[in-house]
Structure 1
Amino acid sequence: MNPHHHPDIVTLMGYSSGGLSVAFAAVVSAHLSVCHLCRDRLRATDTIGGGLLGQQEGLALSEGAAERLLAKLEHTEPDTPTPPPELWRHDPDELPEPLWPYFGSSYKALRWKWIGPGIHHIRSHGADDGHLMLLRVKPGRSLPMHTHGGSELTMILRGAYDDTLGHFAPGDVADLDEDTEHQPVTAPGVPCICVAATDAPLRFSGWMARALQPFVRL
């Protein structure tokens, strides 16, 4: 697994500082478990946090240091072109380990709930300060056009989808806010399974999706 879409740097900094909700932190943790590039970036955000903490404690932080570190994060490249060997030995029935407290460890054991034609979901247990769910969408399915009432962080676990932001495959993360309008279309082949954290309801463009929203609670 070699992700091409990653959490925003600000999201990683929030994770590093402990400022994310349980739901959002769970998605970031799942991505970090398969992305060595973001683990490198996280180490750099820890450096920024340590520098800022040092400044608060009276230790001098050179002028522009935080900005230079942020710029470095933007251009961080992996040390090797492929994931490290520990990421290759993965049981295909296992969810990423950071998701086990919320959904269990096995895909086969998941109990999906129907919420629409070709769409099923599972709400988490134990992520009360944010909405965390698994979504499974049939191949070749076009989801309703929507924007976001707040932030959304979605990681692809299986399958793939395409939208105006690009192609999202296993390991990829879509880090979205209220300015993003999109309509994901799942790729042919296998169902698209993803884990998503939100802090506000979605805003659907179509009247039918808006009418059903109170019942499916998306």
Structure 2
Amino acid sequence: MTWWNKNSLIPTENQNFQIIIEEFVFKCPSCNEKKTKIGVNEAGKPRYKRQYTPVSARNRTFRRNGITGNSLTTVLAQIRRPLVKRGAYALLNGKESVENKVREITRNQKLEDPYFEIIVFQKKSGMTDPETFYYYIRNAFAHGSFEVKTNSKGEKVYCLECCNNGELKGRFRLKETSLISYTKFADMSVAEIKALQRKKK
């Protein structure tokens, strides 16, 4: 299944595109976690030192902003909620096929809108699921694996694909307005994220 066209135009003059590239690529909010064994505890279980390395050297990360644990889970919940309702969201383990899942979801959709939003990606070791989501979108843009289309309503829709050593890790089709909204989470305070949790309840 061809997900994007490498000969498609890149809308470099589009101001929203510039914002999306800046926020997802140059200011990617994700960190890689590295665990180093430093001994054992009183129960004989291994103890680890955790070190977090920002994906972007600019270090504008969720972690630096205090967004961790439940707060970080809330970020992904906000992103996935409207897609889960339509059966267009899937988080897979490393053995599940992204391509097969996308095909399955597409088969089950009512295709009044062939450019419906969809998120399908695999978990990544050493990174939380929300950070993985941002990281894979960052990679799609950084490696040029994307296409910008226009739906029947005149809205910009981004088809993005992330691969690692030839292995498909994620496919996303998202409105430009959705991507812009996602960029705002990394600048929120812990209090603002908690307010989203309360709003959900």
TM over 0.5: no
If asked which structure has higher relative contact order (CA below 8 Å, sep 6+), I would say 2
Structure 2-normalised TM-score?
A: 0.28
